[in-house]
Structure 1
Amino acid sequence: MTRRHALLIDPVASDDDRSDFTDTLSAVDPAGPVLSLGELSAQRGDGVFESIGVVDGHPQEVTAHLERLEQSARLCDLPAPHLDQWRAAVAEIASRCPAGEYVIKLILSRGIDHGAGPTAWVTATPAPDFSRVRRDGVRVVTLDRGVDSGASARAPWLLLGAKTLSYAVNMAAIREAGRRGADDAVFVSSDGFVLEAPTASVILRFGDRFVTPEPAAGILHGTTQMSLFAHLASRGFEVGYERIPVDRLRRADGGWLVSSVRLAAPIVAVDGHGIALDAALTASLTDYLLSPRE
């Protein structure tokens, strides 16, 4: 059975009133030549994307991901994606995923330099095995992102709240974490506040209150974080968005890096300082995140 799948999308206007987008989706060989050498997503990272977790053929939190794709496109001055078309593409490619965990990626690129319009496609591939980090946790180091917590509002052209394809800095941060003997990194602002991990949101626990950095600081509003906050609130916990000084990160009663594919990986050390791992709570969060979620 083929384990990797790809569909090209012929983007249509966001006000297109049709209900069937089948003729705008084309299956392609994910290993074959598909994109032009002039594609700006490859030349400049000029585009936006989303990653959707798939569990036993069910794509998770599709609406939240599509809304964030739309927001990222707006921040980058890309044509507004027709969300019903993208929803159809997600459903089609998810139907090709067998049992187990997969990841669907949605990519909207500015297209070819001086071309007629955007390029768009979706892929589905087996998800990496994150069972160990979900169970045993990750050691993180804090890394200065080089901007203060007000930069997003002051300089929107930095695109700090958009999920763009320009991930070179994020990957460099993970490599730097490895050089420092850690598994991952947590970005902090130059004025000393917790932001996010290179590929995940940060959730911290202080007693029975769970907090995450406020999105206004120029970070992605995590779809998994929002889902977990709703789940925790339904269990009677207090949840909230805060400006979190970096020293509070090191004093948290618990912490997690959360994302659509990794799910909830407990933080067990910050800059060499140990943090308690609540195995039972983490397992319950993982069970929730593996359950079907719309």
Structure 2
Amino acid sequence: MAWLYALMIDPAASDDVRTTFADTFTAVDPSAPALSVGELSTQRGDGIFESIGVVDGHPQEVEAHLERLAHSARLCDLPAPHLPQWRAAIAAVAAHCGAGESVIKLILSRGVEHGPTPTAWVTAAPAADFARVRAEGVRIVTLDRGLDSRAAIRAPWLLLGAKTLSYAVNMAAIREAKRQGADDAIFVSSDGIVLEAPTASVILRIGGTYVTPAPTGSILHGTTQLSAFEWLEAQGLATEYREVPASDLLRADAAWLLSSVRLAAPITAIDGTALPVDPDFTGRLNAYLLSPRD
């Protein structure tokens, strides 16, 4: 990957009253080593992150991403991120993103083992070309998440609602999907409830209503899904958050995976069964998601 820019952050306390933070940022060579060997983000995946889509230099849904970063920090017992500082860092990094699509990553880790402070940094890189996937869609397999739908309530220490750096299971799920001849996966709870994809939210259209699994703590609340629902509601279309049985997947008259960089990818098949696709609607949705949004 041809990295565009990287910025290390000296994290400010959440009650810091400063209004400028330039002296807390250090630009680093994005192709050079920058982390200590004792860094817990690499040793244990002990940290959180966000990926922000950037279109023609404009970072998308910044406030929703920052809210989720703060939510993940609370779940992981990390110091509360100083949101104005992170907002300023995003703006500084976005200035290095040119025309087209890029991705900005925010990372906050517990830092060096036994160290005094967290480690924080922001990077920018060109986004992959998802034009074909947005147009042609993805084939999906369902995979058992190995936990029932009430696991997050019984065991909040599983951090199911936090966007952590521990993504080994998510990546393994995508590899398993490819082994089964598909492109991606949808996690289903062991008691048969639809959760999310390894790196995306799920939206189904059932009987004219756009449905997504309720963010009960077992899944992430998708920032792009939130934007999509705002767009749908502005057009007078019905949206709903609810518990979605796995049996509803094949009842849908259309379905999509939504994420910050890939945007809306129509689902063309689930476990080998073809699903209807709505190219016109998908094109309009992605045109909206590519428009500047704060």
Q: TM-score, with normalisation over the residues of structure 1?
A: 0.99
Q: Mark the runs of 5 or more structure 2 residues left unpaired by the alignment.
A: none
Indicate the residue corresponding to 2:184 in structure 1: 184
> How far off its partner does 1:207 sit?
2.5
Whether the 8 Å contact between 1:213 and 1:241 is mirrored in structure 2 is yes
Q: For 1:293, what is the secondary structure of its paired residue?
A: coil
Indicate the residue corresponding to 1:135 in structure 2: 135
Indicate the residue corresponding to 1:164 in structure 2: 164
Indicate the residue corresponding to 1:292 in structure 2: 292
Letter matched to residue 81 of structure 2? P
Deviations 1:101-129 (A, max 9, x none): 00000000000000011000000000011
Letter matched to residue 163 of structure 2? K
Letter matched to residue 111 of structure 2? G
Indicate the residue corresponding to 1:16 in structure 2: 16
Q: TM-score, with normalisation over the residues of structure 2?
A: 0.99
Provide the C-alpha distance between the structure 2 equivalents of 1:242 and 1:139, rounded to a whole number of angstroms.
24
> How far off its partner does 1:196 sit?
0.1
> How far off its partner does 1:140 sit?
0.3
Q: For 1:216, what is the secondary structure of its paired residue?
A: coil
Indicate the residue corresponding to 1:211 in structure 2: 211
Q: Mark the runs of 5 or more structure 1 residues left unpaired by the alignment.
A: none
Letter matched to residue 144 of structure 1? D
CA RMSD of aligned residues (A): 0.8
Q: For 1:90, what is the secondary structure of its paired residue?
A: helix
Provide the C-alpha distance between the structure 1 equivalents of 2:250 and 2:91, rounded to a whole number of angstroms.
41
Whether the 8 Å contact between 1:3 and 1:97 is mirrored in structure 2 is no
Provide the C-alpha distance between the structure 1 equivalents of 2:153 and 2:23, rounded to a whole number of angstroms.
41
Provide the C-alpha distance between the structure 1 equivalents of 2:104 and 2:132, rounded to a whole number of angstroms.
22
Indicate the residue corresponding to 1:249 in structure 2: 249
Indicate the residue corresponding to 1:146 in structure 2: 146
Moved over 4 A (4+): none
Q: For 1:128, what is the secondary structure of its paired residue?
A: coil
Q: Taking every aligned residue pair, what percent have the same amino acid on both sides? A: 69
Whether the 8 Å contact between 1:149 and 1:217 is mirrored in structure 2 is no
> How far off its partner does 1:250 sit?
1.6
Indicate the residue corresponding to 1:51 in structure 2: 51
Provide the C-alpha distance between the structure 1 equivalents of 2:88 and 2:182, rounded to a whole number of angstroms.
40
Provide the C-alpha distance between the structure 2 equivalents of 1:204 and 1:254, rounded to a whole number of angstroms.
6
Letter matched to residue 48 of structure 1? I
Aligned positions, number = 293
Provide the C-alpha distance between the structure 2 equivalents of 1:3 and 1:248, rounded to a whole number of angstroms.
41
> How far off its partner does 1:208 sit?
1.6
Moved more, 2-11 or 182-191: 2-11
Equivalent runs, 1:271-286 vs 2, <5 Å: 271-286=271-286
Whether the 8 Å contact between 1:202 and 1:212 is mirrored in structure 2 is yes
Provide the C-alpha distance between the structure 2 equivalents of 1:290 and 1:63, rounded to a whole number of angstroms.
17
Cα pair distance change 1:5/1:289, threshold 3 Å: same
Provide the C-alpha distance between the structure 2 equivalents of 1:102 and 1:198, rounded to a whole number of angstroms.
21
Whether the 8 Å contact between 1:195 and 1:217 is mirrored in structure 2 is no
Letter matched to residue 202 of structure 2? V
Whether the 8 Å contact between 1:143 and 1:173 is mirrored in structure 2 is yes
